[in-house]
């Protein structure tokens, strides 16, 4: 989100309701004032122009590098041969999730934070509603690289993410009339996500809720078959809907077909690539704007969408480097192989030139919307929407996030590929190894149950003899592909 919210588990105590969970502790602490201070600082820095934004980023970069060298044994060792000052980002070695996770206890800057202890904390329901060590929000994710990640954010970092969202509200074009309509529509908000398990989206949702004036909010599971989801949304009549791009797109189709009949004032898309075509299809179907956010488990707010369809990088708090396979910079206008993320907001677990795995394009020209922050297009994680033929000939579309969540949760596997290789056939590619048979048994049962509920009991689900196959062009593993 996640960049992709896919396969991110809930933080301990992370709930949807305002005023509960660790967020409540944050709200009532001094971090609230950090939020106020940060929001006004972000506002004034950006108003002063891109030179001020770049200066703020350089200053924070120097501070974080020094902090990491002093407090993180991992970085101290990793930077041992580097000069003690005047470092540019390109001077630092790249880090990966697998390296950081393998050195977790040395990576974190607070020696009280220990991997085995965090894992125990995450697994223990007695700690619901608490901050870890009274000052950290923790969550975990699997992601498509196969190494589970455990993320520790200090309360100041979370306040910064909140402040970044607050700073974006201006940009979303929601005027007083829209707010009035929101309230007159009943002020109901709906989140459709892998509820309870996908923290990045839940957290973004929680922040979006805080920034806007609705009266009630409800979450729906992305695992529900689309017809049932449509019926529930018709009954609930939300004024605001937040979900993954592909799911909003499916709902737009339902709205055009008049099976879905809702009248939202605004929509929010996160976690997946929102293409210009998807965006206009969704906005036309619902006659309202879609706000788009690019975030990840590693940094909840990396960039946000503007009316021109670009994403603007929060360049005062995030450094994003578009690079090729060898981590050399790629030119503006070219798709990167991956992107290196430096998150300047979080000191608990410093991320400096971290290989995030997404592909982006940096726009060569300034964005037409006038926002001076660097404009990018997000290329990565563009899973195909699967359309399967039902027994009566109708084509039923399924959101990729629902399918990947089922495979991850039922099979406990993190590297796999779902391939549609015929109008009514799905193939699953699983890694070869001792777990393969057990995973297949569990996944095939769960997928068949989901398909039966989606009125697709006729669809064949078969195990491919192949292991997952990485895209030869991008070097990435796409989890859901259509090949026929
Ligand atoms: Zn723009």
Q: Could you tell me the residue ranges of all domains in the chain? A: 1-382, 386-482
Helices (H), 79-198: 97-102, 104-107, 115-123, 155-168, 176-184
Ligand 1 centroid vs 315 CA: distance in angstroms? Answer: 14
For residues 428 and 461, is the Cβ–Cβ distance under 8 A?
yes
CA of 211 to the centre of ligand 1 (A): 21
- SS3 at position 221: strand
Report pLDDT for 73: 98
CA of 369 relative to ligand 1 center, distance in Å? 4
Q: What is the mean pLDDT of residues 387-405?
A: 84
**Structure tokens belonging to residue 235:** 């009954």
Q: How far apart (Å, rounded) are the C-alpha atoms in residues 178 and 197? A: 31
Could you tell me the distance, in angstroms and rounded to a whole number, from the CA of residue 366 to the centre of ligand 1?
A: 8
Token couple for 240: 């605001």
pLDDT digits (tens, 9 = 90+) for 287-342: 988 888 887 778 878 998 887 888 999 999 999 999 988 899 999 998 888 899 99
* Cβ neighbours, 10 Å, residue 128: 14
Give residue 373 CA to ligand 1 midpoint distance, Å: 8
* CA of residue 170 to ligand 1 center, whole Å: 13
Is the pTM here over 0.95, yes or no?
no
Closest CA to 3 of 297, 404, 437: 297
Q: State the distance from the centre of ligand 1 to the C-alpha of 223, rounded, in angstroms.
A: 33
Residues 362, 313: Cα–Cα separation, whole Å: 10
| Lowest-pLDDT choice from 204-208, 240-244, 376-380 | 204-208
Q: Cβ distance 301 to 39 under 8 Å?
A: no
pLDDT given at position 221: 80
Superfamily classification of domain 1-382: ANL, N-terminal domain (3.40.50.12780)
Q: d(Cα 362, Cα 364) in Å, to the nearest integer?
A: 6
How far is ligand 1, taken at its centre, from the CA of residue 375, in Å?
Answer: 6
Average pLDDT value for the chain: 81
Q: What is the pLDDT of residue 244?
A: 81
Largest CA distance in the chain: 69
The CATH class for the domain spanning 386-482 reads: alpha beta
- What distance in angstroms lies between residue 371's CA and the mean position of ligand 1's atoms? 5
**pLDDT the model gives residue 265:** 86
* Dihedral (Cα; 257, 261, 265, 270), 10-degree rounding: -60
CATH topology identical between 1-382 and 386-482: no
Q: What is the pLDDT of residues 342-388, one digit of tens each?
A: 999 999 999 999 998 888 899 999 999 888 899 998 876 545 668 89
């Amino acid at each position: 989100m996640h960049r992709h919210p896919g396969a991110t588990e809930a933080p301990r105590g992370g709930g949807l309701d305002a005023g509960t969970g660790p967020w409540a502790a944050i709200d009532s602490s001094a971090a609230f004032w950090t939020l106020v201070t940060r929001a006004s600082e972000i506002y004034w820095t950006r108003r002063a122009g891109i030179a001020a934004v770049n200066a703020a980023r350089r200053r924070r970069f120097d501070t974080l590098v020094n902090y990491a060298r002093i407090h993180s044994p991992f970085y101290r060792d990793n930077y041992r041969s580097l000069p003690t000052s005047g470092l540019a980002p390109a001077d630092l070695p790249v880090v990966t999730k697998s390296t950081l996770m393998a050195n977790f206890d040395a990576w974190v800057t607070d020696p009280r934070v220990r991997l085995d202890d965090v894992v125990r904390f995450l697994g223990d329901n007695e700690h619901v509603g608490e901050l870890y060590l009274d000052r950290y929000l923790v969550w975990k994710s699997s992601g498509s690289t196969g190494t589970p990640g455990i993320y520790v954010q200090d309360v100041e970092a979370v306040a910064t993410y909140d402040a970044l969202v607050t700073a974006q509200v201006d940009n979303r074009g929601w005027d007083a009339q829209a707010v009035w309509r929101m309230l007159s529509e009943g002020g109901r908000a709906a989140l459709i996500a892998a509820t309870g398990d996908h923290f990045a989206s839940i957290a973004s949702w929680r922040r979006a809720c805080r920034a806007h004036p609705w009266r009630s909010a409800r979450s729906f599971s992305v695992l529900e078959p689309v017809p049932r989801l449509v019926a529930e949304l018709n009954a609930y009549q939300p004024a605001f809907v937040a979900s993954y791009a592909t799911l909003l797109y499916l709902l737009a189709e339902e709205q055009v077909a008049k099976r879905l009949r809702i009248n939202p004032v605004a929509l929010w898309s996160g976690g997946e690539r929102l293409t210009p075509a998807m965006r206009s299809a969704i906005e036309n179907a619902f006659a309202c704007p879609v706000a788009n956010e690019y975030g990840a488990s590693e940094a909840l707010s990396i960039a946000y969408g503007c009316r021109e369809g670009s994403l603007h990088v929060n360049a005062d708090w995030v450094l994003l480097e578009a690079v090729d396979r060898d981590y050399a910079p790629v030119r503006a206008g070219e798709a990167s192989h991956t992107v290196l993320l430096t998150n300047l907001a979080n000191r608990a677990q410093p991320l400096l030139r971290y290989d995030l795995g997404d592909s982006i394009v940096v726009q060569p020209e300034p964005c037409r919307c006038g926002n001076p922050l660097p404009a990018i297009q997000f290329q990565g994680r563009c899973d195909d929407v699967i359309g399967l033929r039902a027994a009566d000939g109708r084509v039923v579309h399924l959101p990729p996030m629902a399918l990947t969540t089922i495979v991850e949760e039922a099979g406990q596997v993190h590297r796999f590929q779902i391939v549609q290789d015929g109008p009514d056939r799905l193939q699953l590619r699983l890694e070869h190894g001792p777990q393969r048979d057990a995973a297949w048994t569990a996944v095939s049962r769960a997928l068949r149950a989901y398909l039966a509920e989606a009125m697709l009991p006729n669809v064949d689900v078969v195990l491919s003899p192949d292991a997952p196959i990485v895209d030869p062009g991008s070097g990435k593993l796409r989890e859901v592909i259509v090949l026929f």
